[in-house]
A = this chain, B = another copy of it.
């Protein structure tokens, strides 16, 4: 973050034609953007929404309301332009990129051992790292992966403590029996992968999935390139939380786009001390909530950069 640009943005903000802080969160967001863009007048010209897809061995435990083949079917839907995120990305003027990671090769069932080998995890991280496009000035990461709320709940338990019960929710709408299977799977995964509790990247490798690792890779790359990031919901935040637990400050360039209706997301955001921009009861994943939040960041930047000062407008301040 460019502290000088941030300070100039704050000074400019103080002179704009409005009572101090009357734009509330928009002002904070604009000043935060200014720091990462290195200018007192930030603009969002090339927002990128990167959606990563992966398949999960833990689906063998019947943890989802949908069969595993839906992951590939939804990737085709993204590519054809028919999914929610396609409409949302167009609505907010963002470019959507879709990255399917070895869908025909699910991760191993983490109730029996690590979901990924080190090589597999590194390859997925690299896919995310490489997915960030030249010129992107705001990044949203999201995912598609049947079974991945189970993986995210396991990661959260490993990173933040607690048991399955603290982190398991309905996901895409599993029934009561499915919830019980999710609880069992998460507790079994934690027991089968003791290293996951000790080391954030081991939590990612042992309990995560390729799309989750790819999101972590993309978010880390954005940090290095000073590209601000909007996180999506529960699964994306679990990916980001791995980075936060591994390296202090790793999410300084990120904001929470929304609070998901998935029960444990709120708690995860509290643990990360992140205040969601939107709370609209969304629980779709596929970057949908984060993408909608682009509209708020764009508006925040527009006010910061386009408003007249009291002097310019000859308004009595």
Instruction: Sort chain A's interface into a size bin.
Output: 35 or more
The contact of A307 among B67, B84, B314, B315, by CB within 8 Å, is B84
Choose, from A72-80, A109-117, A121-129, the stretch at the interface.
A72-80
Contact indicator A298/B91 (Cβ below 8 Å): yes
Chain A residues 13-49 with CB under 8 Å of chain B are 16-26
Choose, from A197-205, A241-249, A275-283, the stretch at the interface.
A275-283
Residues in B with CB closer than 8 Å to A88 are 299, 302-303
Choose, from A156-164, A181-189, A288-296, the stretch at the interface.
A288-296
Contact indicator A308/B25 (Cβ below 8 Å): no
Residues in B with CB closer than 8 Å to A306 are 82, 86-87, 90
Contact indicator A283/B22 (Cβ below 8 Å): yes
Query: Once bound together, how far apart are the Cα atoms of A288 and B300, in whole Å?
Result: 11
Residues in B with CB closer than 8 Å to A70 are 315-316
How far apart are A28's CB and chain B's nearest CB, in angstroms?
9
- Does A65 interact with chain B (Cβ within 8 Å)? yes
The residue on B at minimum CB distance from A284 is B22
Query: Once bound together, how far apart are the Cα atoms of A87 and B43, in whole Å?
Result: 12
The residue on B at minimum CB distance from A86 is B306
Query: Once bound together, how far apart are the Cα atoms of A26 and B20, in whole Å?
Result: 32
The contact of A74 among B92, B279, B281, B315, by CB within 8 Å, is B315
The contact of A73 among B67, B73, B298, B316, by CB within 8 Å, is B316
| Known A-B contacts A17-B82, A88-B303, A307-B87; A73 and B315 likewise in contact (beta carbons under 8 Å) | yes
- Does A191 interact with chain B (Cβ within 8 Å)? no
| Known A-B contacts A73-B316, A88-B302; A280 and B24 likewise in contact (beta carbons under 8 Å) | yes
- Does A104 interact with chain B (Cβ within 8 Å)? no
Residues in B with CB closer than 8 Å to A299 are 87-88, 91-92, 292, 295
- Does A97 interact with chain B (Cβ within 8 Å)? no
The residue on B at minimum CB distance from A83 is B17
Residues in B with CB closer than 8 Å to A224 are none
Contact indicator A66/B316 (Cβ below 8 Å): yes
- Does A261 interact with chain B (Cβ within 8 Å)? yes
Contact with B along A145-165 (1 / 0, CB 8 A): 000000000000000000000
Query: Once bound together, how far apart are the Cα atoms of A218 and B172, in whole Å?
Result: 41
Residues in B with CB closer than 8 Å to A84 are 16-18, 22-23, 303, 307
- Does A177 interact with chain B (Cβ within 8 Å)? no
Query: Once bound together, how far apart are the Cα atoms of A25 and B282, in whole Å?
Result: 7
Nearest 6 Cβ contacts at the A-B interface: A82-B308, A24-B281, A295-B295, A87-B302, A22-B284, A25-B280
Q: Give 9 CB contacts A-B under 8 Å.
A: A17-B82, A19-B65, A20-B173, A22-B284, A25-B280, A82-B306, A87-B299, A88-B302, A88-B303
